[in-house]
Amino acid sequence: MKVGGADEIVPVSLRVTTIFRREDGGWRVVHRHADPITAPRPIESVLQEQTREA
């Protein structure tokens, strides 16, 4: 992936979900989604953010 207009390609780890559907005797990709993998966070920090936003 090229990041920030850089000339070089930088490897990026992604969490990917791909959903297939069987059609006409074969498999077809009907949906694909990718997210960057982030560092794990303690649940307390997530709950604090949600409380502040509410």
Residue 40 has pLDDT above 90, yes or no: no
In the chain, where the domains are located:
14-53
Nearest to 38 by CA among 18, 17, 15: 15
Q: Which two tokens stand for residue 4?
A: 């920030």
Torsion, CA 24, CA 25, CA 30, CA 32, rounded to 10: -160
Residues with Cβ within 8 Å of residue 11, at least 6 apart in sequence: 1
Return d(Cα 1, Cα 12) in angstroms, integer.
7
Residue 28 has pLDDT above 80, yes or no: yes
The pLDDT, as a whole number, for residue 50 is 67
Q: Provide the whole-model pTM.
A: 0.51
